[in-house]
Structure 1
Amino acid sequence: MLADDQALVRGALAAMLGLEPDIEVVAQVSSGDEVVPAARASSPDVALLDVQMPGKDGITAAADLHRELPFCRIVVCTTFGRPGYLSRAMAAGAVGFVVKDAPPEQLVDAVRRVYAGLRVVDPALAAESLATGQSPLTDRERDVLRVASSGGTIADIARLLSLSQGTVRNHLSSAIGKTGARTRAEAARVAEDRGWL
């Protein structure tokens, strides 16, 4: 099963995988919200999920899929090879992580290997992930930074997250310190670039 919001990319992946005699694409979806229903209907052995999709992102969809259909092996296939995405994807139940600029044969090999029960991770990204380490942000700091990245005021963030303005300021201050940023916008950008959001 393929999940990617870009029809051209999804179609190209389906065509490429369809050329392999031992691989059949049984479902294609364009949003994270469609992943579990499509998987229930088609019972795929392997699901390739993009990270950034409308509705649920690919990592949230991977966690839902892993919980609902644990037999389905999940590979995150994304343009955004960020260390934080790798660790979050693996924590969500993915057993593979490949970047879209990898050679086609590498993606085909990844599908075969995860189907066989192995884990597959882009080696350069694995090394970068080890060097960068885990996200230092708490769940609440991530929530506050996500909302702050849209440019709202402290009052807007507090209202959206049902927090006091003082609590929002504390979380932003902590996130700014942990990312080594000078402003909340810079903290959100650093966290996004590292795949922590």
Structure 2
Amino acid sequence: MIRLLLADDQALVRGALAALLGLESDLEVVAQVGRGDEVVAAAVEHQAQVALVDVELPGLDGIEVCRALTTHAPGVRSLVVTTFGRPGYLRRAIDAGAGGFVVKDTPAAELAEAVRRVHAGMRVVDPSLATESLLDGANPLTDRERAVLREALTGSPIAEIARTVHLSPGTVRNYLSSAIGKTHTATRAQAAATARDRGWL
């Protein structure tokens, strides 16, 4: 039996996934959590072998969960199962150690097979996202530019962004200007929205 952990902030989604995967004779859901910062402890406690992780989780996002599992529970393979099929998310998840990346509308039989392949040490990637990711290219933003753009999404003024990211207002303006250029947009709001939509944040 392959022991599974499900991490999704929507109980209904977790329940549906558990029911579908539980129909497979070789898969067993041993734990379910609703927060990203609960995954590593639950995976270790329940001796999970594969963690199915959503991207948008409270406490710790799914991509950071993959990184945490790689570091603190290397015996647990991670498979990102998300509504947000953005090429930038795919690239970041793989860089963080995810064994696979599929979208939630993947048919149940394909999802079960993806779990088996990830458990076996193979990599599974949604083919259309893989193509988009190749065409889209690498994330051009630096960590600092991403941090500043994440704050810009809230619509906060420059001074508030500067306080939050512990930089001077002038440095924040420079990062925003650079990010606007890299995203080929005209304003910081457009740059932040474009980066978010491409999965770069």
Match of residue 122 from structure 1: 126
Q: One-letter code of the match for 1:9?
A: V
Aligned pair partner of 2:34 in 30, 38, 44: 30
Match of residue 41 from structure 1: 45
RMSD: 0.6
Structure 1 residue matching 2:28: 3-state secondary structure: coil
Q: One-letter code of the match for 2:57?
A: M
Match of residue 69 from structure 1: 73
Q: One-letter code of the match for 2:185?
A: A
Match of residue 183 from structure 1: 187
Which structure shows the bigger proportion of residues in strand conformation?
Answer: 2
Aligned-partner Cα distance in 1 for 2:71–2:38: 15
Aligned-partner Cα distance in 2 for 1:62–1:75: 8
How far off its partner does 1:118 sit? Answer: 1.0
Match of residue 163 from structure 1: 167
How far off its partner does 1:55 sit? Answer: 1.2
Aligned pair partner of 2:141 in 137, 141, 146: 137
Match of residue 79 from structure 1: 83
> Is 2:149 aligned against 1:149?
no
How far off its partner does 1:129 sit? Answer: 0.2
After superposition, what is the alpha-carbon deviation per residue over 1:2-48, rounded to whole angstroms, capped at 9, x for unaligned? 00001101100011111111000011000101111111111111110
TM-score, normalization: structure 2? 0.97
After superposition, what is the alpha-carbon deviation per residue over 1:79-126, rounded to whole angstroms, capped at 9, x for unaligned? 001111001000111010000011111111100111122110000000
After superposition, what is the alpha-carbon deviation per residue over 1:66-87, rounded to whole angstroms, capped at 9, x for unaligned? 1011111110000001111001
Aligned-partner Cα distance in 1 for 2:179–2:108: 38
Which runs of structure 1 show a deviation greater than 3 angstroms over 4 or more consecutive aligned residues?
Answer: none
Match of residue 100 from structure 2: 96
Match of residue 10 from structure 2: 6
Match of residue 107 from structure 1: 111
Aligned-partner Cα distance in 2 for 1:122–1:84: 13
Aligned-partner Cα distance in 1 for 2:120–2:161: 46
Aligned-partner Cα distance in 2 for 1:156–1:171: 15
For structure 1, the 5+ residue unaligned runs are: none
For structure 2, the 5+ residue unaligned runs are: none
After superposition, what is the alpha-carbon deviation per residue over 1:130-166, rounded to whole angstroms, capped at 9, x for unaligned? 0001100000000000011101000000011110000
Structure 1 residue matching 2:191: 3-state secondary structure: helix
Instruction: Give me the identity figure in percent.
Output: 65
